[in-house]
Amino acid sequence: MSGSKPDILWSPHHPDRYVICDSELGLYRIGPVGSSETKAGTLPLSEETAATLLAINSDTPYMKCVAWYPKHEPECLLAVGQANGRVVLTSLGQSHNSTCKELVGKEFVPKHARQCNTLAWNPVDSNLLAAGLDKHRADFSVLIWDISSKFSPEASVASEKIRLSSVDLDSSTVVTKPLYELGQNDACLSLCWLLRDPKLLLAGMHRNLAIFDLRNTSQKTFVNTKAIQGVTVDPHSHDRVASFFEGQVAIWDLRKFEKPVLTLTEQPKPLTKVAWCPTRNGLLATLTRDSNIIRLYDMQHTPTPIGDETEPTIIERSVQPCESQIGSFAWHPSSQNRMVVVSAANRVMTDFTVFERISLAWSSTSSLMWACGRHLYDCVEDGAEGVESVIEKDIATKMRQRAQSRYGHDTIQVWRNHLLAGGNDPQLKSLWCDLFYMKQCAEDIDLKLQGNKHSVVYSGIKNIVKTSSGTTESRRCWSGSDRQTDVPRYQSEERCLSLRLCGWISRGPDIDVEIFLRSLEQEREWERAAAVALFNLDIRRAIQILNKGATAEKGDLNLNVVAMALSGYTDEKSSLWREMCSSLRLQLKNPYLCVMFAFLTSEPGAYDGVLFESSVAVRDRVAFACMFLSDAQLPRYIDKLTNEMKEAGNLEGILLTGLTKDGVDLMESFVDRTGDVQTASFCMLKGSPGEVLKDPRVQCWIENYRNLLDAWRYWHKRAEFDIHRGKLDPSSKPLAQVFVSCNFCGKSISYSCSAMPHQGRGFSQYGVSGSPTKSKVTSCPGCRKPLPRCALCLMNMGTPVSNCPGKSDEKVDLTRENKLAQFNNWFTWCHNCRHGGHAGHMLSWFRDHTDCPVSACTCKCMQLDTTGNLVPSDSS
């Protein structure tokens, strides 16, 4: 290797020793910095490691290649290939083994002198050493030497004596007769023994890759290619081989040796070395000339090619171990992803570890795991309150908990769904109350509306007030007083419907809020109840509510002060009471108390202090607007408020938008802000199937929620959701995709039976419903051939399961769950062996067995299904 770049060889048996091969051989030991093994004259390799020079060997000049003996003894035995073709055995160790003394200094001389390009020890039969030489027209280029053979002077010819006499060597240490001679009239540039068979040798010849079999040296398997340099076998996949030519690397599969299975990206400069990582499956490192980076190709996840033109994908990355140009590198044989590189100029060595890219996996149940190299790390919570609170606030955790409580499935008392969600989210409470009031109005047979009542009610107050007509204006006295107010109130059928949707009044033409006030008192919302009473011009009722709130348990005594201030109301414009209330109302903390005084001190038609108080519920502000704003003012205010709700994604705005396109826009903002596809899906299913549910955004939310339930293994919940969806949106019901067909005529059994008189649909004709009065069909309705028999009870399919194992003494349960489907009686069979029977019998059998119940059948039916052993997380 004189005049060339240095190379590195790791010891096969000592993980802390390696050899640098240049004009001489240098043996180094690597160890941690500051340890007893490292001395003062050590060479630093990294911040943690340093190398100590143990020995130098300068006895083998003109080195071209070096190979380390693969066995533990003799220690540090090296084969050196020289420029004249000779192979010399040398050692860097201090072994006193007699075998080592016999081998050290031994030479293997070819017939004709030419350069030795490569050496390779047989990993199994370590006496065999393969050498690859340059071309000679009268000689072989691949010579396999037996290092245990001895030179026999009696058998040597005169020409060999003349050839050896020019060298002053002991003839007993020279071997001239190789064990095998291969590759005549050709050149060998690289060699490697195949790990799958120690008798096979892969050689990179002049224009082809050839596989030689030592059991039949007259034949060889070869493929023409230019990629003949640096052949190396993947230690983790013995059929995968890499070779290169100039700047291109070819990956070969020995089982399909016609052409490379993969050609890596060509580099601008010629390659000098390629090497598979011994500790990492499918990781190939390449080095180009005059470069300071090493390029890595990860083929760990490479799929097997399906067609001739299919190329697998790889992950490519580059690492820079040092700043200077790299002369060579070598993977550590046991430390994961570790290598030592040596610079091309001055033998500066660097200990470098290629760090794996960390891949994170976040499960659907908020568990975090990441992989780095061979290690898997699971993130375990330390029980800190901060961590737990963050997880509890996560929307995925909330949706999972709500799904367990059947959130969204209450279609009768719709408002109760907010309690199933925990009852602590005011926006959800507002949403489900809105949907409840919409459902009530849509079902009210006394409500007369123009057009489709369902569509009008679910179109939202924004669209309802636009169609308002016949509005009447009235002026009423304060309730309990003869004094008339100067506040005009407006009334129409559309405004009354809006008040009903706001929850202020119940059915009927009269505006009676007493029922609503009592419900607010029960919920201890004293301030809100007082404000509603005041907006209905009942100041005496408002004072009564405030006094009741002050005297209630844990009540606010300050409400008495507010009631006292309210009792002094006067409509005189310049009164001291009005002046003080206008200036001091903003200091009140409760927004409803604030808007009460804003209403009393406002001019007629100018109620901005009430309408734009964001802390007041939207439904109360809208109800107030429907009572006190004119036909010109009301649509403008509703439009402005609707746009604010849509931009903020506030669910209280569903009252205004309804389940229309505007409602979808609002819900989109809500989902973008919170990620709550669960609420979005259930909410939009309440709308008109022909309009809202066809929107691709709605379909996306529904499918994402279904996928979430599947990911959580809430398969029962997902099935319930699909049933719930099918009731509200009949178009979502999938068509029948699986039929039980007759094995003789091929007709669908269930389809044929469904057309028969006095028979049920689907599987009910087989006694699935559990009713003993149903006629049992045990033959095909088309051809009358008998149906298959159950492998366990030997009864024809269609016969009901009367005595399921473990349930013989139990009374037939016809609860709602069992009426849905008597699954025990269903047809079931293995798609592999085609044996089967009643589903109940099959499940009972496979609880205790793994083999098919049919005699002499060895099929592992239940284990063929990857989900066969999974247990639903929502199973009770």
pLDDT at 759: 38
pLDDT the model gives residue 424: 86
Q: How far is CA 703 from CA 15, 277, 718, 803, in A?
A: 55, 44, 11, 40
Give the Cα separation of 584 and 182 in Å (integer): 107
pLDDT the model gives residue 849: 86
| 29 φ/ψ angles, rounded to the nearest 5 degrees | -120, 130
Where helices occur in 458-575 by DSSP H, the ranges are 461-466, 493-502, 514-522, 526-535, 539-551, 558-567
Q: Residue 408 half-sphere exposure, CB side, CA atoms within 13 Å? A: 28
pLDDT score of 482: 54
User: What pLDDT, on the 0 to 100 scale, is given for residue 330?
Assistant: 93
Cβ atoms of 405 and 716 within 8 Å: the answer is: no
Q: Element (H or E) spanning 678, and its range?
A: helix 677-684
CA 814 to chain centre: 41
Block mean pLDDT (10 aa), the chain, length 876: 73 89 89 69 86 87 90 85 92 68 87 92 92 90 88 45 47 83 90 91 92 89 92 92 92 90 87 92 91 88 49 80 90 90 86 86 81 79 60 83 91 88 89 90 72 79 83 73 70 87 77 86 89 87 87 77 76 72 77 86 82 91 91 91 93 92 93 94 80 88 94 91 88 76 80 42 42 60 86 83 45 44 77 88 87 90 70 66
**824 within 8 A of 800, measured Cβ to Cβ:** no
pTM: 0.62
Coil, strand or helix at 689:
coil
* C-alpha neighbours within 13 Å on the C-beta side of residue 267: 25
Rounded CA gap, 584 and 487, in Å? 23
State the Cα–Cα distance between residues 610 and 236, nearest whole angstrom.
Answer: 76
Secondary structure of residue 788 in the 3-state scheme: coil
**Cα separation of 629 and 620, whole Å?**
14
Structure tokens at 541: 């009722």
pLDDT of residue 151: 56
